[in-house]
Structure 1
Amino acid sequence: MKSKLLAFLGSALLSGTAVAGGYQVNLASQRQIGMGHTGTGIQTGTSSIFFNPGALSHIRENGVTIGASAISSHIAYRGTEPSGFSAEADNDFGTPFQVYAAYTVDELLTVGLGVYTPFGSGVRWGNEWNGRYALNEIDLQAIFFQPTVSYKIGDKLGLGLGFVVATGGVNLQRVLPVQGQDGTEGAIELDGGAKTGFGVNIGAFYQATEKFSIGIDYRSKIELEVEGGDVMFSNIPAAARGNFPEGAEFSASLPLPATLSLGIGYKVNEQLTLAADVSHVGWSEYESLRFNFSKPVAGSGVSESARNYDDAFIFRLGAEYQLNDKLALRGGAYYDQTPVQDGYLTPETPDADSRGLSAGIGYALSEKFSVDASFLYINKKKRTDSAEFSRSVAGTYKATAYIPGLALNYKF
């Protein structure tokens, strides 16, 4: 029982997400989602606060954008033979959002504020599947607040800096290999809010010619730390309660990795704009997860498990066609490498290389109001961890996601 509990506690504070590599959520703008989530090398309006603060100095009008996506993710599991047990996660709808506001102080200086959710997800495996001792249910949330300043040097170059303040929380629930008096298996729940973390978002944008533009953006690593999180137990038999102390607390840390992006844009004509981005995500910062307990749990005050993530790349292509004065049509695609190595696949992050296809429209309701709508389909490759090498629940995982989104824009 002790070994099962330590394996249980040593799994990640992360959710298995069908949205992006690891536990990243790349849904920062409805317009840009429609264009394959490109945006580093083009001027994207108020959402340049996220994609490239240097491009914010090139906006022509003040504006506010409010948007959100609805994630419907599906994760299927099939166990290794001879059991062949199968299960599907019953996930709630995820609703990552973005709010941006930008104001041009003068011809050179622009300031802005962004509030967005670049990390987080949730998964519900239930308490009947054969991996219930590894994971039952988990929610991870991270919210970024980013005041930003952008300065234009001459007609072509823009430099920008955003100061990021991050907060969040986690709730993790799992079944324990003990039974209460009514025969129901025991359970543990870890619940805690993260301390405030800090980082930066730095970007440079260069409008080389009337048609060609290039940009580079760096979003730094942020460490989110949970301290004084609650450890709660249920259905624990009297004989085992010494291993599951009431009033225990936990602490842990989670790296939100740095991302370096390079992007280009090309305006073919007055109607058609093309964009391409490549991003390097520093997932190798996530080497292990360590839990520290205020009281010994299963005889130990510490639990640590290896993650050994690899750095990964994301490749993106997008296009926008301005059909007329009111309607814009968009499309895009991307390929997102997984940071999870073979042998480290878990129910929290049953991750694999992802293929994404997107489409979207923009429609001007008036001179000041417009709406953006997007739809993103994500298909992760089927992936298997054998019982010989798996550090968690061996088997085959397959994930897909369907993500519609909507945003309202106001110019003033």
Structure 2
Amino acid sequence: MKSKFLALLGSAVLSAGVANAGGFQANLQGQKQIGMGHVGTGLALDQSSIFFNPGALAHLRQNGIQLGVSALNAKIAYREPAGGISEAFTDNPLSTPFQVYASFGKEESPLRFGIGVYTPYGSSVNWGDQWQGRFGLNELTLQAIYIQPTVSYRISDKLGFGAGLIYSIGSVNLQRSIPLQDANYAESGIELDGGASGFGYNLGVYFQPTEKLSLGLTYRSKVEMEVKEGDVTFMLPTSPVVAGQFQATQFDAKLPLPANITLGIGFKPTEDLTIGVDVQRVQWSAYKSLRFDYNAGIRGEMFTESPRNYEDVFIYRVGAQYKVSDILTVRAGAYYDNSPVQAGYLTPETPDADSRGVSAGLTLALSEKIDLDASFLYINKKERTDDASKSGGVAGTYKSVAYIPGVGINYKF
């Protein structure tokens, strides 16, 4: 019983960062690309190439600043295992992943410098404190911000290379109930709150053999997010016997955000039509277990560890844009994202399943120097039933959807 309690305690803290990545990964790094199913590795569209392919950045002949934000509205439904009749629904607050990019260099120079600040992971999940799985999770808020200075070099009109250093900062706050009651039958609880940081890099090559065809290949490294001295707060009965079993006040943990390899193809059958296809390999197998080390004992234990054993997966994307006029460009796209979570390892933070996404977008040229972008992405995850026997999660059936409008502005100089 004690080992099961500790597994529940440890499993629900930072695993949400990984669940967000495999599940509601914030694939929202550029408004133009969102409108095209988030393709962009084989294209040189705008300053967001800092994220999508640093090698393409030097093929942009104008300097620019780009700002964008999306409104992530995610909903999750839960139903008890077979034979149960209870249901639960999340009441998630609105999340706002954003992106900021800037690039600069002399007009005819083959060298371009850039910096990007974006949020590849971030969402909020609120199940409340009355649902059946409250001993696994009540509420979670997670955010990770990547800061990426970048350099790109155009070897020729056909070939470019680029590289960026990633510094990631983030935070996590988790609240869950504990199966202990005081004299008034009020349940106990725990809150874990901490900041995390890590380093990585982004490499890209861009090749345009003809005016109609372009190719891109990128590698984004694993980022090991590390929490040091996060705060542990218990809400417990006043009994000194019980309080003496929960002495931890701080925790340390590490979470691998996985490496990605992406191959992209761009094709322009006409001057006004651009088609993009991306195939992305996400190396989730780096996430084998989740361990928490405490500065004092929790029911006699100084650490907890729970298995994850995620699998490497592919994401397939396709999108297109069409220039209707000098003022208006329209876009559409779709993607299929395989889940890295094996059977028995599902958790309630962001219950993951294979995802289907469809999107649309447009650009309005307000002037020669200013463009306005807009996008909309709809994500529908397959319904998934899992016994959570290996993760210490909450068994049942989950269904998730998300609605994500976005807007951005570009200034070219």
TM-score band (shorter)? over 0.9
Q: Which residue of 1 aligns with 2:303?
A: 302
More off after superposition, 119-128 vs 257-266: 119-128
Tell me, yes or no, if the aligned pair for 2:344 and 2:388 is still in contact at 8 Å: no
- For 1:233-272, list aligned pairs within 5 A: 233-238=234-239, 239-245=241-247, 248-272=249-273
Q: Which residue of 2 aligns with 1:177?
A: 179
Q: Which residue of 1 aligns with 2:368?
A: 367
Q: Which residue of 2 aligns with 1:6?
A: 6
Q: Which amino acid aligns with 1:56?
A: L
Tell me, yes or no, if the aligned pair for 1:368 and 1:411 is still in contact at 8 Å: yes
TM superposition shift of 1:66: 0.4
CA gap of 1:309–1:197, structure 2 versus 1, over 3 A, is same
Q: Which residue of 2 aligns with 1:100?
A: 101
Q: Which amino acid aligns with 2:269?
A: V
Tell me, yes or no, if the aligned pair for 2:80 and 2:86 is still in contact at 8 Å: yes
**Helix, strand or coil for the counterpart of 2:28?**
coil
CA gap of 1:387–1:358, structure 2 versus 1, over 3 A, is closer
More off after superposition, 104-113 vs 219-228: 104-113
CA distance in 2, matches of 1:142, 1:290: 19
**Helix, strand or coil for the counterpart of 2:11?**
coil
Q: Which residue of 2 aligns with 1:401?
A: 402
CA gap of 1:390–1:18, structure 2 versus 1, over 3 A, is closer
Tell me, yes or no, if the aligned pair for 2:272 and 2:323 is still in contact at 8 Å: yes
**Helix, strand or coil for the counterpart of 1:55?**
helix
Q: Which residue of 1 aligns with 2:61?
A: 60
CA distance in 1, matches of 2:2, 2:100: 46
- For 1:15-94, list aligned pairs within 5 A: 15=16, 21-22=22-23, 24-94=25-95
TM superposition shift of 1:15: 2.9
- Pair 1:111 & 2:113 matched: yes
CA distance in 2, matches of 1:198, 1:330: 34
- For 1:185-196, list aligned pairs within 5 A: 185-194=187-196, 196=197
Deviations 1:19-63 (A, max 9, x none): 752463211001100010000001021000000000000002110
- Percent identical residues: 58
Q: Which residue of 1 aligns with 2:125?
A: 123
- Pair 1:378 & 2:379 matched: yes
TM superposition shift of 1:82: 2.9
Q: Which amino acid aligns with 1:5?
A: F
More off after superposition, 332-341 vs 389-398: 389-398
Tell me, yes or no, if the aligned pair for 1:7 and 1:134 is still in contact at 8 Å: no
CA distance in 2, matches of 1:63, 1:227: 37
More off after superposition, 83-92 vs 233-242: 233-242
CA distance in 2, matches of 1:363, 1:23: 28
Tell me, yes or no, if the aligned pair for 1:16 and 1:351 is still in contact at 8 Å: no
- Pair 1:230 & 2:231 matched: yes
CA distance in 1, matches of 2:364, 2:384: 40
- Pair 1:153 & 2:155 matched: yes
More off after superposition, 18-27 vs 291-300: 18-27
Deviations 1:203-241 (A, max 9, x none): 000011010000000000010110101100114331311
Q: Which amino acid aligns with 1:250?
A: F
Q: Which amino acid aligns with 1:24?
A: Q
TM superposition shift of 1:168: 0.6
Unmatched runs of 5 consecutive residues or more in structure 2:
none
CA gap of 1:389–1:110, structure 2 versus 1, over 3 A, is closer
Tell me, yes or no, if the aligned pair for 1:43 and 1:59 is still in contact at 8 Å: yes
CA gap of 1:139–1:388, structure 2 versus 1, over 3 A, is closer
Deviations 1:236-265 (A, max 9, x none): 3313111112x6110111111100000000
Tell me, yes or no, if the aligned pair for 2:37 and 2:333 is still in contact at 8 Å: yes
CA gap of 1:387–1:306, structure 2 versus 1, over 3 A, is closer
CA gap of 1:99–1:76, structure 2 versus 1, over 3 A, is same
Q: Which residue of 1 aligns with 2:222?
A: 221
TM-score, normalised on structure 2? 0.96
Tell me, yes or no, if the aligned pair for 1:4 and 1:177 is still in contact at 8 Å: no
CA distance in 2, matches of 1:69, 1:324: 26
CA gap of 1:389–1:15, structure 2 versus 1, over 3 A, is closer
CA gap of 1:327–1:373, structure 2 versus 1, over 3 A, is same
TM superposition shift of 1:182: 2.7
Q: Which amino acid aligns with 1:280?
A: R
More off after superposition, 32-41 vs 2-11: 2-11
CA distance in 1, matches of 2:219, 2:338: 19
TM superposition shift of 1:187: 0.5
Q: Which residue of 1 aligns with 2:210?
A: 209
CA distance in 1, matches of 2:188, 2:117: 39
**Helix, strand or coil for the counterpart of 1:98?**
strand
The root-mean-square deviation of aligned C-alpha atoms, in Å, is: 1.6
CA distance in 2, matches of 1:391, 1:198: 30
Q: Which amino acid aligns with 2:310?
A: Y
More off after superposition, 39-48 vs 77-86: 77-86
TM superposition shift of 1:81: 3.1
**Helix, strand or coil for the counterpart of 1:10?**
helix
CA gap of 1:382–1:77, structure 2 versus 1, over 3 A, is same
Q: Which amino acid aligns with 2:115?
A: L
Q: Which residue of 1 aligns with 2:169?
A: 167
TM-score, normalised on structure 1? 0.96
Q: How many residues align?
A: 410
